[in-house]
Structure 1
Amino acid sequence: MRRIVAGLAAALAVQVVAGQEDISLEDYAALMESNQEALGAVEAAVDAAAYQDARRSVAILRRNFQGRLPRFWFSRELADAVEIVRDGVDRLARLEEMMSRTWDVPEMPVRQATEEFRGAVCDACHNVYREGDGESGFRFREGVFALEAAPVRTREWSQYLAFDDRFSINFPGEPTIHEATYVTGYGITLPARVYTAEDDFGTYSATAVDWHEANELHERANEACQAATGDLRGGDNPGICANHVERDIRGATLHAAFGLLQRGSEVTFFGPATEGQNEGIRIQLLNEDGSRSFASIFWHENYLYITEATTPPGMPPPVLFANGMNFLDEYGIRIAYDTPYVPTFPVPSRRR
């Protein structure tokens, strides 16, 4: 068993992240009230150029849009509403990114993005599914739930601790594990372990590539190269033999990202990812069949991690999975650093 024994330490216990309870109409009304208040605060803060205050209110919106709101619509099998929520999640992520870069993003685009969020998300949903106003009260249009189905039940999510591979991540139940191999950018074959799970919302995988023997394998390749070429240097035929392990490590996340891009899917996002001050790469893809893939790639302490979730058309983003990655030390304690962690550079001090 690769799960941590429950009695090892309290910090290693499996933690239930979220249940899948039905979201009632009363719950939805409370969410709408929260969204209305938060969006009003965002607009007021943007008008005052108080972007830190605006980001705090955007965080409230993102929590609602990534949590209970998509479950409300998905359980009622209204795919158009789920798509509106997903568009809202994407717009909020872009808005937050703009607010974090106000030194090179003018005020007008931030204001415009805020107005577009209200129109393309809030107003779009209201025009189709709700009626009324702030004075008379909001209500769902007649017949919206006439064909309402029973709520979808999914497996309970929990934090899975892959102690052997020094990471933890959220999965819907116990994942299936199988051994694999992985070829690096310099052609070195390394052992890997793949963790997979699925539920009604999609499929999920986490691949951990073990780099502990990479230096030895690179050195063997270097020696074989020298034996084959005589390691000729200078002149018209310079030798190319060397131990390239550091270059291989520094390019590991880019090489893994390139592998995902080679599938040919439409790239809807390619940018940085951060977990515990460890900087990686985040990719979102729109696949030919309409499904969406969400991937994150990190390198940490002799492991390359590639996580990926794929959701069918109309399903909400895999928030619990995408935001559940953690790195563990030899005792199974989550690692977070005071300053950015960069492969092959001195390891920064850990946050306490």
Structure 2
Amino acid sequence: MQIDSSNAQAAAEPEWVNMAYPEQLFSANFPNQPTVSEMPYLSEYGGTFPSTIYQAQEGENHYSVTVVDFSAAKDVYLRMADEVNVSGVHNFWLYDQMGSVAYAAQQFRLRGGDVTYDAWHHVDFIGGHQLFLTNADQTRTYAGIYRHADRLYILEATVAAGTPPQGVFQQSLTILDEEGKRIRYDLQPDHSRVRVAAD
């Protein structure tokens, strides 16, 4: 884990710092040192995958980044093949990853509350989805979901009523390569993309 307190987005909130986690290939802003835990993640097609959860609390406001590791997806579904009597099960490992952003977004909708924003989004032209929700207790949830390679990143900020939008957290996600360098793409409407230099 690396800490960079000079991040431009974090500067708007002096107590926030940008923290990098090279082992999970991302960095993000947090209000303080997050706790790190691991738990299984049940996917849309019934596979169970490891996830790492980074959580921070600031007063009544809660922030988390969940990273789901799909790197063993093919093996997981090969092991399940004998237990699942469904046509096309040999492709579930692919379907699961391709649909993982949409599935995670649906889990937020199913919580209830009033969805006030629900649309495609990106970080450095890595496609994903954003949702804003007003919950029954009038707290607000700001979620961002992105997938790159074999990892799914789920950002969630749930804050007290009247708290400003959480862009300093939600828009801070940076995807890193194996050398810890920022990944950015030139994206085309047909979904083709080429990696470009990032600042």
2:141 and 2:158 in contact (8 A); partners too: yes
The counterpart of 1:265, out of the listed 98, 101, 113, is 113
Q: Describe the shift of the 1:272–1:20 C-alpha distance in structure 2 as closer, same or farther (beyond 3 A).
A: closer
Q: Describe the shift of the 1:220–1:340 C-alpha distance in structure 2 as closer, same or farther (beyond 3 A).
A: farther
Which consecutive unaligned segments of at least 5 residues does structure 1 have? 5-12, 22-155, 230-238
SS in structure 1 at match of 2:106 = helix
Q: Describe the shift of the 1:241–1:19 C-alpha distance in structure 2 as closer, same or farther (beyond 3 A).
A: closer
Residue 224 (structure 1) shift? 3.7
Match status 1:18 vs 2:8: no
SS in structure 1 at match of 2:155 = strand
Higher strand share: 2
Residue 199 (structure 1) shift? 1.4
Match status 1:167 vs 2:26: yes
Letter of the aligned partner of 1:246 in structure 2?
A: L
Which consecutive unaligned segments of at least 5 residues does structure 2 have? none
Distance across 2 between alignment mates of 1:19 and 1:283: 23
Residue 284 (structure 1) shift? 0.4
1:166 and 1:327 in contact (8 A); partners too: yes
Structure 1 residues 1-352: aligned runs within 5 Å: 3-4=1-2, 14-16=4-6, 17-18=10-11, 20=13, 156-200=15-59, 202-225=61-84, 240-243=87-90, 244-339=92-187, 348-352=193-197
Residue 254 (structure 1) shift? 0.8
Higher helix share: 1
Letter of the aligned partner of 2:156 in structure 1?
A: E
Number of matched residues? 193
Q: Describe the shift of the 1:330–1:337 C-alpha distance in structure 2 as closer, same or farther (beyond 3 A).
A: same
SS in structure 1 at match of 2:4 = coil
Residue 245 (structure 1) shift? 1.4
Q: RMSD of the TM alignment (CA)?
A: 2.1
2:134 and 2:140 in contact (8 A); partners too: yes
Residue 223 (structure 1) shift? 3.6
**Cα deviation code 1:1-26 (max 9, x no counterpart):** xx13xxxxxxxx613322657xxxxx
1:279 and 1:341 in contact (8 A); partners too: no
Percent of pairs identical after alignment?
Answer: 31
Residue 329 (structure 1) shift? 0.2
SS in structure 1 at match of 2:67 = strand
Query: RCO higher in 1 or 2 (8 Å CA, sep ≥ 6)?
Result: 2
Of structures 1 and 2, the larger Rg is shown by 1
2:5 and 2:16 in contact (8 A); partners too: no
SS in structure 2 at match of 1:338 = strand
**Cα deviation code 1:95-154 (max 9, x no counterpart):** xxxxxxxxxxxxxxxxxxxxxxxxxxxxxxxxxxxxxxxxxxxxxxxxxxxxxxxxxxxx
Q: Describe the shift of the 1:20–1:14 C-alpha distance in structure 2 as closer, same or farther (beyond 3 A).
A: closer
Q: Describe the shift of the 1:171–1:323 C-alpha distance in structure 2 as closer, same or farther (beyond 3 A).
A: same
Residue 275 (structure 1) shift? 0.7
Runs of 4+ in 1 over 3 A off after TM superposition: none
Residue 295 (structure 1) shift? 0.0
Q: Describe the shift of the 1:260–1:291 C-alpha distance in structure 2 as closer, same or farther (beyond 3 A).
A: same
Distance across 2 between alignment mates of 1:341 and 1:161: 30
Q: Describe the shift of the 1:186–1:157 C-alpha distance in structure 2 as closer, same or farther (beyond 3 A).
A: same
